[in-house]
């Protein structure tokens, strides 16, 4: 049993393909000199990481979380506050945020592991709102709605760069980290457990899968990675406030990116970010905000109704067809 049993690409093939893609992504700043496109690209990288993080608990373990903005926010605020108050560089703060978020994620995992379907969704939603309310009202710590501005102090040693390409590589590093962890989990015993639990919890339990442990670890890892994305976001935008870090709408968007790309697969969420973020930008520019969101809502509806496996399923279909074509050619040649 594999998480992505429909994958037409062998693990070795996937590894090589990923390495090739990585090399290409490394070259992007050499080719793309236009700030706006690079900016958009960095946003895509951060979203890809965030959706990948969500996917570990949402896709692999099957718990649709609508509260992941909370972990993103914890990451953003932890690294930023450590920097502002104690002068600790975000390069270290990012790990502090990840640890804190992992603890919160584990806590949430412990209290929600037996909830299913809409109950789980609503519990995570409520959790996200609790974190948001605390964020808005604990003004002594977070400055509330006034937000925190990262002073441009020190430069690279504080994850603050003048050149966007440096953010591109930071974002890329983040993506490699999240995708790496995701791939590791997919192949590990934990990955098999999670899928077994997702598909049939009772059967899995009777086969000796440790339910609570698996779910809690998945929740903690997912939260930690989301927090890492939050720290990078904070260093990139250099201003954070509750509405842009812990709001409910953000949680919806995180899940949406993963779903559009294809949840339960390692590369689906990455593909999702590459589709959704530029599409959203394009629609906004072409149609203006309201109309763009009408299209957005409509697309979301259509995708989950007609293609709940996401865009990655389409890509796989394409790969499979192509391979069949090549195979038949070879046969014909022989």
Partner 1 sequence: MNTGIRRVVCIAMIVTFAMTGVQLFARGQAQQPQPAVTADGAAITTLRVGALFPQTGGMAFGGSNALQGTQIAVELFNETNPYGITVELVSADAPDPATGTTGVRQLITQQNVDVVMGTFSSAVASATAPAAERLNVLYVETTAWAEGITRNTSNVLRTTISSGSLGAAAADFILTGLAQELGVAEADIRVALVFTDDEFGTSIADAAVGRIQSSRARLVVRESYPAATTSDLSSVLLRIQQERPHAVIHIAQVPDGVLFWRQAQQLGVDMPAVVGVGGGYGQVEFARPLGTNADGIFNVVPPTSGSINVDSLTPAAQNLLNELQTRVTQRGWTQGPYTDWGFMGAWVFLNEIVPNAASTSIADMMAAAANVRVDALDSITGFGFEFAGVNHENSGQNLRAIPVVQQWQGGQLRVTYPHELAVADFVNVPLPPWSQRTQAIGQ
Partner 2 sequence: MQLVLQIVANGLLIGGLYALLAVGLTLIFGVLRVVNFAHAEFMMLGMYGAYWLWSIYGLDPYVSVFLITPVVFLLGVAVDRLVVQRSIGKPDVTVVFATLGLSILLQNAALTLWRADIRSVSTFATGSVFVVGGVRLSVAMTVSFAAALLFALGLWFFLTRTMYGKAIQAVAQNRRAAALMGIDVKRVYLFTYSVAVAAAGAMGVLVAPIFTIFPRVGQTHIVTIFVIVVLGGLGSVPGAVVAALLVGIIRAGAGFLIGTAWGELAYFAVFLLVLIVRPQGFFGRRGAEVYGG
Q: Is residue 286 part of the contact set for partner 2 (CB under 8 A)?
A: no
Size of the site for partner 1 (CB under 8 A): 58
Size of the site for partner 2 (CB under 8 A): 45
Q: Which of 320, 310, 224 is nearest to 269 (CA)?
A: 310
**Cα 283 to chain center, whole Å?**
22
Check: CB of residue 83 under 8 Å from CB of residue 93. Answer: yes
| Integer Cα distance of 297 and 260 in angstroms | 12
Per-residue contact flags (x/-) with partner 2 for residues 220 to 259, judged by CB under 8 A:
----------------------------x---x--xx--x
Check: CB of residue 216 under 8 Å from CB of residue 91. Answer: no
Neighbouring C-beta atoms of residue 138, cutoff 10 Å: 11
Q: Which of 21, 126, 130, 302 binds partner 1 (CB under 8 A)?
A: 21
Q: CB-wise, 66 or 160, nearer to partner 2?
A: 66
**Is residue 135 within a helix (H) or strand (E), and if so which, with residue range?**
helix 117-137
157 Cβ partners below 8 Å, 6+ apart? 89, 91
Residues 66-125 that bind partner 2 (CB under 8 A): 66, 111-112, 114-119, 121-123, 125
Q: Which of 290, 305, 332, 334 binds partner 1 (CB under 8 A)?
A: 290
Reduced to 3 DSSP states, what percent helix, strand and coil does the chain have, rounded to the nearest 5?
Answer: 80, 0, 20
Residues 146-175 that bind partner 1 (CB under 8 A): 146-147, 149, 152, 162
Report the interface residues with partner 1, using CB under 8 A: 9-10, 12-14, 16-17, 20-21, 24-25, 27-28, 31-37, 39-41, 43, 133, 136-137, 139, 144-147, 149, 152, 162, 233, 237-241, 243-244, 274, 281, 284-285, 288-290, 292-293, 319, 322-323, 326-327, 330
């Amino acid at each position: 049993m594999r998480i992505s049993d429909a994958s037409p690409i062998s693990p070795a093939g996937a590894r090589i393909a990923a390495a090739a893609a990585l090399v290409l992504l490394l070259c992007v700043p050499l080719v793309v000199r236009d700030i706006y496109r690079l900016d958009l690209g960095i946003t895509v990288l951060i979203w890809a990481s965030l959706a990948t993080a969500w996917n570990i608990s949402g896709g692999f373990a099957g718990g649709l979380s609508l509260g992941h903005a909370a972990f993103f926010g914890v990451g953003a605020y932890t690294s930023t506050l450590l920097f502002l108050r104690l002068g600790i560089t975000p390069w270290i703060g990012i790990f502090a945020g990840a640890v804190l978020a992992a603890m919160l994620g584990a806590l949430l995992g412990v209290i929600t592991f037996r909830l299913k379907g809409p109950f789980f969704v609503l519990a995570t939603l409520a959790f996200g709102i609790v974190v948001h309310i605390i964020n808005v009202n604990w003004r002594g710590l977070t400055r509330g709605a006034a937000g925190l501005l990262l002073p441009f102090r020190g430069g690279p040693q504080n994850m603050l760069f003048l050149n966007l390409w440096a953010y591109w590589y930071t974002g890329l590093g983040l993506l490699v980290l999240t995708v790496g962890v995701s791939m590791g989990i997919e192949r590990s015993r934990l990955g098999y457990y999670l899928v077994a639990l997702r598909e049939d919890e009772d059967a899995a339990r009777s086969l000796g899968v440790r339910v609570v442990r698996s779910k809690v670890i998945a929740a903690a890892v997912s939260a930690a990675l989301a927090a890492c994305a939050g720290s990078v976001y904070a260093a990139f935008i250099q201003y954070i406030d509750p509405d842009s870090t812990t709001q409910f709408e953000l949680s919806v968007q995180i899940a949406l990116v993963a779903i559009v790309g294809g949840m339960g697969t390692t590369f689906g969420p990455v593909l999702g970010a590459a589709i959704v973020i530029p599409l959203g930008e394009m629609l906004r520019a072409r149609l203006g905000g309201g109309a763009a969101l009408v299209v957005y809502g409509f697309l979301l509806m259509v995708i989950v109704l007609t293609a709940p496996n996401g865009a990655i399923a389409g890509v796989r279909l394409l790969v499979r067809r192509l391979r069949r074509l090549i195979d038949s050619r070879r046969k014909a040649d022989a």
